[in-house]
Structure 1
Amino acid sequence: MSKFDAENAENLEDIEKQFAVKAVHQAETYWNLLTKIKGSSLKLTKYDDEIYNLLIEKFPEFKDPNFAKHINEDEMKSKVGKERWRLFCEEFKYIEDYNFGTLLRTKSDTEYDQISTIFAVRIQFYAIEIVRNRAGLNDWIYGQQSM
């Protein structure tokens, strides 16, 4: 049996579509949850405290929750940003699907849409949304219409 070589694997359209469908489903599920429970009352994982504490340690700018209001995709995906996030993400290999692709709103005061939604890995999503939820930045969604 040959070993799978991810570096040289083809990007198969069907696989990409399946990832996209799963990412959209996760975004819809999260949004619908926020319409029923205030984000400030929500716990995303049993590791929320660990994720939050390491985020603050590795990204001290998040100590100010206003920093989480708007995520700058260019900074996040710059060479320096990618390395900082890679080191952060690798600390959470024990969390299932920690590096699975997901959708992240760049602005906490908007819904998921084509303009303010980016592709991120799940642990980045958890980290940023935990900060937003703890600061009450997602509470405005409570009572909104589900997706």
Structure 2
Amino acid sequence: MSSTFDAENAENLEDIEKQFAVKAVHQAETYWNLLTFIKGSKLKLTKYDDEIYEQLLQDFPEFKDLNFAKQISEEDMKSKDGKERWRKFCEKFKQIEDYNFGTLLRNNSNDEYGQLTTIFVVRIQFYAIEIARNRAGLNDWVCKK
């Protein structure tokens, strides 16, 4: 009997999916609560923020445009080209705990988390995009609310 887990051939068990969803929602609520107390521009998400941000700008120079960071297109991220670009980016951060764990991202920095304003991404994508938004001051409005 093998003790290795093969994610590619594993069954999608409803209870496991629910547990992942609960964890993702909890992470989103925690982040939102942080933003209500600390301006995003003052917030550090990981000890790797500088490296994540520099790599994001290198791999995705379009993030230098604040409007690009403000409004994220799920279609662009999950297109064939988008998936490949993000996969290469994500693989550079395997040292970050749960770098590939699913989490929720607001598709627009001007919106709160909601059913129509949220997309499912992996944690390193969340970090990269939110670090870019925070450095640009795009999340500071939450604290002022």
Runs ≥4 in structure 1, deviation > 6 angstroms? none
Is the counterpart of residue 83 in structure 1 residue 84 in structure 2?
Answer: yes
TM-score (norm 1): 0.96
CA distance in 1, matches of 2:47, 2:6: 33
CA distance in 2, matches of 1:133, 1:4: 37
Aligned to 2:127: 126
Per-residue deviation, residues 71-109 of structure 1 (Å, max 9, x unmatched): 000010000000000000000000000000000000000
Percent identity between matched residues is 79
Per-residue deviation, residues 90-143 of structure 1 (Å, max 9, x unmatched): 000000000000000000000000111000000000000000000000000004
Q: Which amino acid aligns with 1:76?
A: M
For structure 1, list consecutive stretches of 5 or more residues without a partner in the other structure: none
Q: Which amino acid aligns with 1:131?
A: A
CA distance in 1, matches of 2:101, 2:17: 12
In the TM superposition, residue 65 of structure 1 has moved relative to its aligned partner by 2.1
> Secondary structure of 1:11's match?
coil
Aligned to 2:23: 22
TM-score (norm 2): 0.97
Is the counterpart of residue 139 in structure 1 residue 145 in structure 2?
Answer: no
Aligned to 1:112: 113
Is the counterpart of residue 9 in structure 1 residue 3 in structure 2?
Answer: no
Count of residues paired in the alignment: 144
Per-residue deviation, residues 46-86 of structure 1 (Å, max 9, x unmatched): 00000000000000001122211100000100000000000
For structure 2, list consecutive stretches of 5 or more residues without a partner in the other structure: none
